[in-house]
Amino acid sequence: MQITNFLKHHYRHFNAAALIDAADGYNKHLAEGGKMMITLAGAMSTAEMGIQLAELIRQDKVQIISCTGANLEEDIFNLVAHDFYERVPNYRDLTPADEQALLERHMNRVTDTCIPEEEAMRRLEHVVLKFWEKADKEGKAYFPHEFFYQILLSGELEQYYQIDPKDSWMLAAAEKNLPIICPGWEDSTLGNIYAGHVITGDIKNVHTMRTGIQYMIYLADWYTKQATEESKVGFFQIGGGIAGDFPICVVPMLH
């Protein structure tokens, strides 16, 4: 039985039925020539949402993504350090001492999954800092996702890949040069690290990293060019928070 048929047979009511409605609405919108924005809240990249999202990107079923800084970087953390991740299925029962033990091992917990600091965050930091410093010295500025695209397409991380690259949605997006909006990136791990390198003077110009205001302007420009009567822009929101709140402001802002 196809997955679609299975779901339609079994998912008939309540939130299950809402899933069917959402999927049908998505397909109908694309079939009518529309474009789709997907918004990704929280840290779903650590839940390995890239397995599904990367294929959607490759099939041109998403035209722009708005996501948190966590989703942006954690897809790449998973790409280069997956074998070092640890699951904590009993995370609801962890004591303060248990949490301290994870901290001392530099295991950063996202609900039931721990991201290893050295193999994921520091491994990526060593590479990304080179790209930040190069842009800084050249007087250039890029958005967070643009720096990641440069890194992924350069091949510098390939030696560290620990999952099938086709399951990385950021790699799929880089290969398509997919527009991404990442509001509040400063709140992410690499956002904090970037701020630290500005403080220490490794990065001379804080504006080497383009800002959230510039992201809003970028989105407004994209929207006014892409949204037409013949090809409307759909809004497929997964989770709440800034990833959805930020882009939904663009239309009233333009008015």
CATH number of the domain residue 209 falls in: 3.40.910.10
- Examine residue 98 and state whether it is found in any structural domain, yes or no: yes
Asked if residue 24 belongs to a domain, the reply is: no
Q: How far is CA 183 from CA 76, 116, 216, 231, in A?
A: 18, 25, 8, 25
Average pLDDT (217-225) is 97
Distances (CA, A) of 99 to 90, 93, 105, 107, 174: 12, 10, 10, 9, 36
pTM: 0.95
Per-residue pLDDT tens digits for 23-51: 999 999 999 999 999 999 999 999 999 99
**Residue 119 belongs to domain spanning:** 33-254
Give the span between the Cα atoms of 39 and 244, in whole angstroms.
Answer: 6
**Confidence band (pLDDT; 50, 70, 90) for 255?**
confident
Is 54 within the bounds of a domain?
Answer: yes
Sign of CA dihedral 77, 176, 152, 54: positive
CA–CA distance, 144 with 215 (Å, rounded to integer): 10
Per-residue tokens: 100: 């301290």
Backbone angles phi, psi at 241, to 5 degrees: 85, -165
Domain count, the chain: 1
Confidence of residue 251 (pLDDT cuts 50, 70, 90): confident
7: in domain:
no
Alpha carbons 116 and 107: distance in angstroms, whole number: 5
Rounded distance, CA 20 to CA 3, Å?
Answer: 11
pLDDT tens digits, one per residue of 152-185: 999 999 999 999 999 999 999 999 999 999 999 9
